[in-house]
Amino acid sequence: MSNSKKKILVVDDAAFTRNMLKKIIDKTDFTEVVGEASNGNEAIQQYKKLKPDLVTMDLVMPEMGGIESIEQLLKIDRNATIVVVSALGQEALVLEAAKKGAKDFIQKPFKNDQVLEVMERILMK
Q: Encode pLDDT of 111-120 as tens digits.
A: 999 999 999 9
pLDDT at 3: 62
Q: What is the mean pLDDT of residues 69-93?
A: 94
φ, ψ for residue 110 (rounded to 5)? -90, 155
Strand, helix or coil at 35? strand
* pTM, rounded to two decimals: 0.94
Q: What percent of the chain has pLDDT over 90?
A: 91
Alpha helices in 1-125 (DSSP H): 15-26, 40-50, 66-76, 91-100, 112-123
pLDDT at 1: 40
**Closest C-alpha among 1, 41, 10, 6 to residue 110:** 10
**Average pLDDT for the chain:** 94
Please write the tens of the pLDDT for every residue from 65-78. 999 999 999 999 99
Q: Left, alpha or beta for 84 (phi > 0: left; psi -120 to 50: alpha)?
A: beta
Report the alpha-carbon distance of residue 16 to residue 101 in Å, rounded: 26
Cα dihedral sign for 63, 23, 106, 2? positive
Kindly indicate the confidence band of residue 2, based on its pLDDT and cuts at 50, 70 and 90: very low
Domains of the chain: residue spans and CATH = 2-123 (3.40.50.2300)
Please write the tens of the pLDDT for every residue from 93-109. 999 999 999 999 999 99
